Structure 1
Amino acid sequence: MFLSIIIVNYNTKNLLKNCLGSIRKNGENGNIEIIVIDNGSQDGSVEMIETDFRNIKLIANNSNAGFGQANNQGAKIAQGEYLLFLNSDTEMTDGFLDKLRNDVNDLKNRGAIGFKIANRDGSWQKFCGNFPSFLNLLAESFYLDRIFKGSSKLFYRVLKNDFYQQQQKSDWLSGSCLLINKNLFAKIDGFDEKYFLYVEDVDLCYKVKQAGYDNFYLPLKAVTHFNRSSSPNKTPAIVFSHQNLIYFFRKYYSNTQAPLLKLLFIIKSILYSIIGAVFGILSPRLFTQAKSYFILLTTLISQKKFTQYENSFKK
């Protein structure tokens, strides 16, 4: 079998239905299978799959296992030579699977592969970048990358517009649409399940590089990402991404870098909370952001509180 498409779902019934419909529209055949791992949804997602998409392999978890662990579950039963990890809030571009089949020989001996991802308004998402460093996270936290636009590319964690016009190497690629050889995925032990949500794709790409492979971006439009994170509640994204970046530093970098990054994020959280509280009367968005960064601040100070916050998403 050529390809296993693996989709993790958590309470995104309507988005998932559109996603699966777009794959079906691309043309299913014996060389492709679809695996959906449902993380304890309570919105009728499982029933929808069982009624409308009976040919799909379904794993129905009783609770939210997290993004990485659920993807690993799917990979264990996958029969395809390649694994395509796809977010449930995406819709596949017409003809993408045919182009992927035609380009299969170009995929040999490569690490993870990412593709063009469109926003709902037709603009392109910026979804590739350099591995996180203290410098680029410092620049990103205080908007130095926007002030010094002509600076070295090492100043950037997310690469800019001109990167996405041609095929080239990239340190990390977005897990919202990510292709990897199944044997390589097994060799690097898949996703690190200690990441409940966010940064697990960066970690996977780092392990691919450690295994001696380069990750590649291909300028082939794969999906439109409707991005459930466009929800007004940014707190999960803010909390999990910052906490998981600290874990990433602790895992791969020197002993001094993780504490420094944590200190940076504490300072950032304090400043963002104060600024949002002061100017929130003029901008509800800033006030909402301030509340999210205050929650982040409490989790940075007390790891126990972060664990409690994570557990609230597993129910």
Structure 2
Amino acid sequence: MTDDRSDPEPGTPRIGRLTVVTVTYSPGAHLERFLATLPHATELPVTVVMADNGSTDGAPEAAVASHPEVHLLRTGANLGYGSAVNMAVQRYLADDDAEYFVVANPDVQWGPGSIDALIEAAGRRPGAGALGPLIRDPDGTVYPSARLQPSLIRGGMHAVVGSVWKSNPWSAAYRQENLAPSERVVGWLSGSCLLLKRSAFDAIAGFDERYFMYMEDVDLGNRLAKAGWDNVYVPAAEVLHDKGHSTGRDPARNLAAHHRSTYTFLADRYPDWWQAPLRWTIKAALTARSGAVVRRSRRRQAKGPR
């Protein structure tokens, strides 16, 4: 480590050792790629905490045996993403005075200097509670990971017509697809890779544990913003995300979970008694759509690969 890292410039976050939290659920070969590329992402010494939700493939145990910086936390059940992250933070970061930590999926592959670029951006933006990188899909295309908050109209139209009308204006606006990558404040950032400010994360009590999967990152971004923190997109940092390695095992179940999480998120934003008819309408629409997409998914599964 160079001298200027041990004695940083004013405004540079002071991080002695960086903790990276990842949630594992039979991650397979993805986990080894995650760990193999991590040293290229930062010059800081790193501790990796795997919050394991019940893996049966032996990958977390193999990682602990091969990588001395890796720790395995067995959550005791499949708690979901946010709950597992919260447990890891409570168990491993309770006495850690580092200003920032990283949360990332185990199917992320780290670009050179990606974490350091996020930390440098945090130094420029002390009001940022979360910072996220540019995320590429395996084919190299840029995934729209920095989005606006889903308003009732914009988010609703994206949900209703997004799957059948790909170029619709509501989805394009929500996903910020037509904006060139630039460092900017956004509504929320993909939870697949985040640099989080510990004081901001603690101030909002971390992830909302009602979300088993999906929407927990949208909710986190929304609550950070309401608490006065920024969500900052940092495209100078790049990672590759082979998304869906675990969620693809049971598409029908996960589609249903997505709709339940969407209702939880929207119902929270319209909580007053006089908004009850709106909540009923949202729930009815999401229930109908969930039933349709789940049935379609099960038919496809029954037919098998073509």
Which among 183, 199, 205 is matched to residue 183 of structure 1?
Answer: 199
Give yes or no for contact 1:75–1:83 (8 Å, CA) kept in 2: no
Q: Tell me what 2:34 maps to.
A: 19
Q: Structure 1 residue 46 and structure 2 residue 63: aligned?
A: no
Q: 1:259 corresponds to which letter in structure 2?
A: W
- TM-fit CA distance, 1:193: 0.8
Distance 1:118-1:150 versus aligned 2 partners, 3 A rule: closer
Q: How does the TM-score come out when normalised to structure 2?
A: 0.80
User: Deviation string for 1:241-290 (max 9, x for gaps)?
Assistant: 1101111122222433332211112332455578x4xxxxxxxx794289
Q: How does the TM-score come out when normalised to structure 1?
A: 0.78
Give yes or no for contact 2:219–2:265 (8 Å, CA) kept in 1: yes
User: Deviation string for 1:143-166 (max 9, x for gaps)?
Assistant: 279859585x69843221x32421
1:149-188 matches, within 5 Å, as 151=169, 156-160=173-177, 162-188=178-204
Identity of aligned residues (%): 26
**For residues 56 and 243 of structure 1, what CA distance do their matches in structure 2 show?**
34
Q: Structure 1 residue 244 and structure 2 residue 258: aligned?
A: no
**For residues 196 and 230 of structure 2, what CA distance do their matches in structure 1 show?**
11
**Unaligned 5+ residue runs, structure 2?**
1-14
Give yes or no for contact 1:18–1:91 (8 Å, CA) kept in 2: yes
Give yes or no for contact 1:130–1:154 (8 Å, CA) kept in 2: no
Q: Tell me what 1:127 maps to.
A: 145
**For residues 34 and 147 of structure 1, what CA distance do their matches in structure 2 show?**
41
Kindly indicate which of the two structures has a greater share of residues assigned to helix.
1
- TM-fit CA distance, 1:233: 3.8
Q: Tell me what 1:64 maps to.
A: 78
**For residues 172 and 192 of structure 2, what CA distance do their matches in structure 1 show?**
24
User: Deviation string for 1:189-236 (max 9, x for gaps)?
Assistant: 000111111111111111101111221111124310011168374223
**For residues 210 and 203 of structure 2, what CA distance do their matches in structure 1 show?**
18
SS in 2 for 1:215: strand
**Unaligned 5+ residue runs, structure 1?**
277-284, 292-315
Which among 212, 223, 230 is matched to residue 228 of structure 2?
Answer: 212
**For residues 39 and 14 of structure 1, what CA distance do their matches in structure 2 show?**
17
Distance 1:142-1:289 versus aligned 2 partners, 3 A rule: farther
Q: Structure 1 residue 288 and structure 2 residue 305: aligned?
A: no
Deviates more, 1:191-200 or 1:104-113: 104-113
Q: Tell me what 1:115 maps to.
A: 133
Aligned length: 279
Give yes or no for contact 2:132–2:195 (8 Å, CA) kept in 1: yes
Q: Tell me what 2:6 maps to.
A: none
- TM-fit CA distance, 1:10: 0.6
Give yes or no for contact 1:247–1:258 (8 Å, CA) kept in 2: no
Give yes or no for contact 1:120–1:226 (8 Å, CA) kept in 2: yes
Q: Tell me what 1:193 maps to.
A: 209
RMSD: 2.8
